[in-house]
Amino acid sequence: MDFSLNEEQQQFRDAVRGFAERHLADAALQRAHSDDYPHDVAKMMAEQGLFGIAMSESSGGQGGSLMDSIIAIEQVAAVCPRSADVIQAGNFGAIRTLAEYASDDQRERYLKRLLAGEMLISVGMTEPEAGSAVTDLVTAATPDGDGYRINGTKVFTTHGWHADVILAYVRFGPGVGGIGSVLIDKGAQGFSHGQPVRFLSGDDWAQLYFENVYVPPENVLLGPGGFKQQIAGFNVERIGNTARSLALGRFAFNVAREWAMQRKQFDRALCEFQGIQWKFAEMQMKLDAAQLLLYRAAVNADRGLPSAQETSIAKCYCNQTGFDVASESLQVMGGTGYSQESLVEYCFRRTRGWMIAGGSLEILKNRIAEGVFERRFSQRPPR
């Protein structure tokens, strides 16, 4: 067992940190409060080789590891928390699913441009009546000639407003086995957005309406049965969200630590009060524990043993820790922490959403309990 990064990982870590400090530090606060997706950052990162880090070189990726992608999230977030979302978009979630299952033609039309930072993809799974129970989704794919007609509505889609293409989960037939996925272009006839709505994080989402949208056969990513195939890999995908939670908690912690050493009340630095010291001791313990759980899940996934149990434990603990630490850091900074002049309040708002997105804490705990008791517990009412 070795708790340190190897030499190659250390070099990569330092290179990413250098890039972030040179290109992302100055506008970090402004970026956190901007309504736009940072396309300029995406282009820079793609040129720097920070997209497709864990994807094979034959797919247009960098041939690195999941651990490398996490290192990239950590180093970018330490300088510019918002830009960690761009690392996520270029390495985790929909782009990874595409890299895994795309046809040669789909790679050419979509993956290439996504990896170049020229395009943005979002995943549309959640529907008004299918949140945690995602397999209840009803967006229908009905055969029409060689292709399909899509009808349905998606909600809460991250970057849905800005995305050029949506990886939409659709129903080809009944049951879990009837679910697959298709690629729907922004300009497709019958595809429209509702009014943008703001999340607590400041990000906008909008309802995505598909009204008789024609999807040609070459835009089907995974046909019926695809959901089951894809969900196996989804546990690993949770690692991106997990890493960002922890990284933003750590960012807030570092800012609050500096503050506690400089800010004086009652003629003493804040860090000299035991009530404040214990907050930092608690935060440090949580951050360290979360870090170990995250790395365990990632290192084992890199060894080809992705464990749903380990990734669920890591996500649950890192999501909670990121938020708790951001909240305590904000408290240590008083009115300054609560104000938009510091990025700590952004980290507090941002980490809150990951306790819901990508598998809520409750759903993850259900999964973890199944591992504990080595049996499934159906969430459905008894028949």
Ligand X SMILES: Cc1cc2nc3c(=O)[nH]c(=O)nc-3n(C[C@H](O)[C@H](O)[C@H](O)COP(=O)(O)OP(=O)(O)OC[C@H]3O[C@@H](n4cnc5c(N)ncnc54)[C@H](O)[C@@H]3O)c2cc1C
Choosing from 139, 158, 245, 351, the residue that interacts with ligand X (CB under 6 A) is 158
125 belongs to the binding site for ligand X (CB under 6 A): yes
If the CB atoms of residues 259 and 317 are measured against ligand X, the closer one turns out to be: 317
Q: Does 132 bind ligand X (CB under 6 A)?
A: yes
As a whole number of angstroms, the distance between CA 65 and CA 45 comes to 17
- Residue 136 C-beta: closest distance to ligand X, Å: 10
End-to-end CA distance of the chain: 48
Which among 81-89, 116-124, 182-190, 245-253 is the span making contact with ligand X, rule CB under 6 A? Answer: 116-124
Does the protein bind ligand X through residue 231 (CB under 6 A)? no
Structural Rg of the chain based on CA atoms = 21
Specify which residues 124 forms β-bridges with.
168
Q: Which stretch binds ligand X (CB under 6 A): 8-16, 113-121, 155-163, 252-260?
A: 155-163
The stretch among 108-116, 156-164, 302-310, 340-348 that binds ligand X (CB under 6 A) is 156-164
User: Which residue, 54 or 155, has its beta carbon nearer to ligand X?
Assistant: 155
- Look at phi and psi of residue 227 and say left if phi exceeds 0, alpha if psi is from -120 to 50, else beta: alpha
Least distance in angstroms from the C-beta of 200 to ligand X: 8
Instruction: Locate 36 and state its tokens.
Output: 């736009």
Among 123, 163, 220, 248, binds ligand X (CB under 6 A): 123
Residue closer to ligand X by CB (options 239, 283) is 239
Could you give the CA distance from residue 51 to residue 87 in angstroms, rounded to a whole number? 7
What are the Cα distances from residue 381, in Å, to 135, 142, 370, 377, 378? 15, 30, 17, 11, 8
Distance of CA 232 to the CA centre of its chain: 17
The whole-angstrom separation of Cα 81 and Cα 201 is: 12
What are the tokens at 236? 């690993």
Amino acid occupying residue 34: S
Task: Tell me which residues in 185-224 interact with ligand X (CB under 6 A).
Answer: 199
Given 38, 52, 124, 240, the residue binding ligand X (CB under 6 A):
124
Q: Which of 165, 148, 180, 347 is nearest to 253 (CA)?
A: 347
Q: Which residue has the tokens 């040179």?
A: 22
131 binds ligand X (CB under 6 A): yes
Kindly state the smallest distance separating residue 360's Cβ from ligand X, in Å. 3
Build a one-symbol-per-residue string for 356-375: x at contacts with ligand X by CB under 6 A, - elsewhere. xx--x-xx--x---------
Among 156, 172, 259, 317, binds ligand X (CB under 6 A): 156
CB of 129 to ligand X, least distance (A): 8
Does 181 interact with ligand X (rule: CB under 6 A)? no
Q: Which residues contact 180 (CB under 8 A, 6 or more apart)?
A: 141, 169, 170, 172, 220, 221, 222, 223, 224, 225, 226, 227
Nearest approach, Cβ of 158 to ligand X (angstroms)? Answer: 3
**Site residues for ligand X per CB under 6 A:** 122-126, 131-132, 156-158, 199, 353, 356-357, 360, 362-363, 366, 379
